[in-house]
Amino acid sequence: MDLELESYVAQILKDIRERGIEAVREYSRKFDGYDGEFLVREEEFEEAERLIPEEDKQVIARTIERVREYHEKQLENDKLYIKNASLYGIIYKPIRRIGIYVPGGKPLPSTLIMVGVPAKIAGVKEIVVTTPP
């Protein structure tokens, strides 16, 4: 990786850690020309859902169900063994929080489905979704 670029990105990340959302807003204006809101209100989700044709909603629901069924079969049980008074094995625990980036351009609900559904099945408590404006 280009060290100059790496240093530039490190400075941006440091600035965001220190100044939070205000720094994010500045970089969003600078790099993306975006000066709007970052969080989507519940009403906006509801309005967007009303705009989706019923046939598309059914396709999305079937896709979610298929992905859910597939990934539920992949869930592993903890494996614990006792030998010579020692306990050893594998304990599976979900990650507490994940971020999902859904690329811009043509809307791809499949990106969200293919990452979000397995995360929910695995027990991830907090899922944050980001997408370009």
Over the stretch 81-108, which tens digit does the pLDDT of each residue have?
999 999 999 999 999 999 999 988 776 7
* 1 pLDDT higher than 70: no
Residue type, 31: F
Domains of the chain: 1-38 (no CATH), 52-130 (3.40.50.1980)
Q: Are 89 and 79 in contact (CB under 8 A)?
A: yes
pLDDT value of position 107? 65
Segment 41-69 mean pLDDT: 96
The rounded distance, in Å, linking the Cα atoms of 103 and 107 is 8
Question: pLDDT higher for 60 or 107?
Answer: 60
Residues in the chain: 133
pLDDT value of position 133? 75
Q: Are 59 and 90 in contact (CB under 8 A)?
A: no
pTM for this prediction: 0.74
In whole numbers, what is the pLDDT of the chain averaged over residues? 93
pLDDT value of position 116? 97
